[in-house]
Amino acid sequence: MITIKEVSSQKELKEFVLFSFEIFKNNPYWIPPIIADELEGFDRTKNPAFKNAEVHFYLAYKDNKIAGKIATIINWDEVNLLGKKKVRFGWFDVIDDIEVTKALLGKAQELGHKHNMDHIEGPMGFSNLDKVGVLTEGFDELGTMISWYSMPYYKEHFEKLGMVTEKEFYESWFTMDAINPAPFQRASKMIKERYGLKTLHFKKNADIFPYVDQMFDLFNEAYASLQSFVAINDETKEYFKKKYVSFINPEYIKFIVDSNNKMVAFTIVMPSYETALQKAKGKLFPFGFLHLLNAKKNSREVVFYLIGVHPEYQNKGVTAIIFDDFYKVFKEKKIKKFIRTPELLENNAMHNLWKNFDPKIHKRRKTYRMDI
């Protein structure tokens, strides 16, 4: 017998988080989150996403054991600003039992009926800055700290239950050996002179903070044309500023500004924390933070987390400046591998940035939709 219970206590919320550790126990490709960080993200008093969303967490039980979990979400900004009558679902993990999956998705449908929504979609988080998609290819590839891993049967359950593809994403990587710096080195100098641009470089994380709000404003402008994009509000900017800036090597963030110091492009690259997180096993103490600190200083792999270019500059070769700046840093740091996070299949402008680096697609993922 399958029963579904809404999470109503801190103890159950921790069980919600820890269920993923059970599902992926001994899986060499899953990247465990830091448990305390995951719980903080679900704290209604700390995460501003809850101010603009209705969120419910559910656990499924079978034979008196936890068999699955799901978060159901209505992002009211998405509904009211974009007119999308959608229930999101995320943080989905389940045993290989399609009836458990059906029962969990039923909770997303119930929320949709309650608010007259017309479909559900997932897996996805509260906003565009959260994790997204279920793996459809690349199950034998190491995950990243900012993407969900999933078992092959997740997508099989969705498809057997009549869900259809809503969005497609792919992930890729390339190596330092694949980079020929000469073209963007020449272009960088020319474009800086033509448009009066310069790069802001950083040595301390504290020096980055004054520019982060402007970066998120540019992020909103750069991605506004994507049909699924919901702008990041001020409270969310502040939350992500505190949550992620400390994880970034200051040398790995580049802001391009014009002669008036207005930001026209940015890129955030993070050290690869994946192996460190596996060693930490969800805990910062007693030794987890040491693994993370070591990765921050010494990882030879990096993850391109965010990149944005103002619409007025998207066809003016500004990315040559970014690549030139990063090439110098990464050569000095002896970086060997570059990993790209999930990118929408429709985001051709982004794909074109990387075409000359011979990227290797190693993962694909989707969100699935079901009409209510």
Residue 246 pLDDT > 80: no
CA distance to 44, 214, 243, 257, 340, per residue, from 14 (Å): 14, 35, 20, 44, 30
Q: Is residue 367 part of a domain?
A: no
Which of 150, 172, 194 is where one domain is finished?
Answer: 172
Cis check: omega of the bond before 271, within 30 degrees of 0: no
Instruction: Give the confidence band of 242 by pLDDT, cuts at 50, 70, 90.
Output: confident
- Residue 350 CB coordination number (10 Å): 17
What is the full DSSP assignment across 284-325?
A: -TTTHHHHHHHHHHH-SEEEEEEEEE-GGGTTTTTHHHHHHH
Same domain (yes/no): 161, 178: no
Show the DSSP H helices in 116-208 as ranges: 152-160, 182-195
**Which string of b and e fits 100-120 if b means at least 16 CB within 10 Å?**
bbebbbebbbebbeeeebebb
Q: Which of 86-95, 155-164, 235-244, 270-279 has the lowest mean pLDDT?
A: 235-244
pLDDT at residue 155, rounded to an integer: 98
Residue 205: domain span: 174-362
> pLDDT tens across 68-126, in order?
999 999 999 999 988 999 999 999 999 999 999 999 999 999 999 999 999 999 999 99
Q: How far apart are CA 263 and CA 102, in angstroms?
A: 47
The two tokens of residue 318 are 């500004």
Write down which residue in 172, 207, 234 finishes a domain: 172
Answer whether residue 23 is part of any domain: yes
Residues 352, 208 within the same domain: yes
Pair (178, 156) in one structural domain: no
**Whole-number Å distance between alpha carbons of 210 and 253:** 13
Give 2-19 pLDDT, tens digit per residue: 999 999 999 999 999 999
Q: Does the pLDDT value for residue 240 go beyond 80? A: yes
Domain match, 207 and 351 both:
yes
In a shared domain, residues 292 and 324 = yes
Is the per-residue pLDDT at 313 higher than 70?
yes
Per-residue pLDDT of 162-199, as tens digits, reads 999 999 999 999 999 989 999 999 999 999 999 999 99
Quickly state the pLDDT bin for 20 (edges 50, 70, 90).
Answer: very high
CA distance 326 to 253: 9
Whether residues 27 and 126 share a domain: the answer is yes
* 372 located within any domain: no
The pLDDT assigned to 247 comes to 79
- Quote the pLDDT of residue 233: 86
Region 278-297: mean pLDDT is 95
| Dist. CA 29–CA 24, nearest whole Å | 9
The top-scoring range by mean pLDDT among 147-161, 245-259, 300-314 is: 147-161
Q: Are 72 and 89 in contact (CB under 8 A)?
A: yes
pLDDT of residue 225: 77
pLDDT tens track for 325-358: 999 999 999 999 999 999 998 887 777 778 888 9
pLDDT of residue 227 exceeding 70, the answer is no
Is residue 159 a part of any domain in this protein?
yes
Per the structure, how many domains does the chain have?
Answer: 2
- Of 127, 148, 172, the one marking the end of a domain is 172
How far apart CA 253 and CA 266 sit, in angstroms, is: 8
